[in-house]
């Protein structure tokens, strides 16, 4: 069904006695320009006439038609409404309501257009064009309501899909994060195991080294116990012992020699008394025992001197 923009153009020459000449001339000129489809110039003439005769519904009706041809639907609607409210003629009023419906439809005001068509049908129920336009607008309203509903459903579905994608992306990110953490844990665990293994191998090597050292020492010890001590080594030890206190040994020797010389000298001069001889012998024995103790570490037969047999 096609919408019928049925515009009935009324050219009323309602000549009033007081301004018949000026109104008639201006209306004729404006109507002529309109018929020639020179709507811009016709609009200028109708605007001038409307300013001069603001209460004339016929001029307002023709002015509204001109606005409509120029697709100025808002201005057209205002003029059609003014004509419908002021018109006393039923036909002019009915046509004004009908064309007002068309103007409102052009503005997208479908509910208001339905009201205007309904008022037109109230004045003329047999107007086929008004019935068709009314039915068309009602269907258009249903269509737009369904389209709006579908649009909202699509937006809702789109928003839902968007949220699902966000959740999916979030879950994926969480999964990747967890997977990375698990990989890092496994890597760290592997590194710790390798480090522990290296430490154990190092410790094992140290233990083996220590065990080898102990075995070598034990072997050397066993070899040392198995071999007899060499005479040269004993002489070295005796020599070391003998040389431990050279000053003391020298002193003891000097004392012994001095005592022998003293006894020899006394023997030359005179004989000792028995008491003096015993005292001298005891002194000599003490000094000799000290000397023998110091020399006992040496080899037998070397470094020891026997005393005289008194």
What are the tens digits of pLDDT across the range 150-172?
A: 999 999 999 988 888 888 888 88
How much is the pTM? 0.51
| pLDDT tens digits for range 236-291 | 544 444 444 455 555 556 666 666 665 555 544 445 567 776 776 776 655 555 54
Higher pLDDT, residue 126 or 265: 126
pLDDT tens, residue by residue, 36-51 = 999 999 999 999 999 9
Report the range of poorest mean pLDDT among 21-30, 44-53, 210-219, 268-277: 268-277
Q: What are the structural domains of the chain?
A: 20-143 (1.25.40.10), 251-297 (no CATH)
What digits encode the pLDDT tens for the residues 129-139? Answer: 999 999 999 99
Kindly tell me the sign of the dihedral angle through the C-alpha atoms of 267, 270, 271, 272.
negative
The mean-pLDDT minimum among 21-25, 81-85, 296-300 falls in 296-300
User: Residue 244 has what pLDDT?
Assistant: 45
């Amino acid at each position: 069904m096609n919408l019928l923009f049925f515009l009935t153009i009324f050219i009323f020459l309602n000549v009033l006695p007081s301004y018949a000449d000026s109104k008639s001339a201006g209306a004729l000129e404006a109507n002529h320009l309109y018929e020639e489809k020179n709507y811009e110039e016709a609009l200028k003439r109708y605007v001038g006439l409307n300013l001069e005769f603001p209460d004339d519904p016929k001029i307002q009706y023709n002015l509204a038609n001109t606005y409509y041809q120029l697709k100025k639907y808002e201005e057209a609607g205002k003029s059609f409404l003014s004509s419908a409210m002021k018109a006393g003629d039923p036909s002019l009023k009915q046509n004004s309501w009908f064309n007002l419906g068309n103007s409102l439809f052009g503005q997208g005001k479908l509910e208001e257009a339905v009201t205007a068509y309904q008022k037109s049908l109230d004045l003329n129920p047999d107007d086929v064009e008004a019935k068709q336009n009314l039915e068309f607008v009602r269907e258009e309203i249903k269509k737009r309501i369904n389209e709006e509903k579908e649009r909202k459903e699509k937006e809702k579905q789109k928003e839902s899909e968007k949220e699902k994608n966000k959740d999916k992306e979030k879950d994926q990110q969480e999964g990747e994060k967890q997977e990375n953490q698990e990989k890092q844990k496994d890597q760290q665990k592997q590194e710790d195991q390798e480090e522990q293994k290296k430490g154990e191998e190092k410790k094992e090597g140290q233990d083996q080294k220590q065990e080898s050292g102990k075995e070598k020492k034990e072997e050397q010890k066993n070899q040392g116990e198995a071999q007899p001590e060499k005479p040269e080594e004993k002489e070295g030890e005796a020599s070391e012992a003998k040389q431990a206190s050279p000053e003391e040994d020298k002193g003891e020797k000097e004392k012994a020699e001095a005592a022998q010389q003293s006894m020899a000298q006394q023997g030359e001069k005179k004989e000792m008394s028995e008491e003096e001889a015993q005292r001298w012998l005891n002194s000599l024995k003490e000094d000799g025992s000290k000397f023998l103790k110091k020399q006992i570490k040496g080899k037998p037969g070397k470094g020891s001197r026997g005393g005289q047999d008194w």
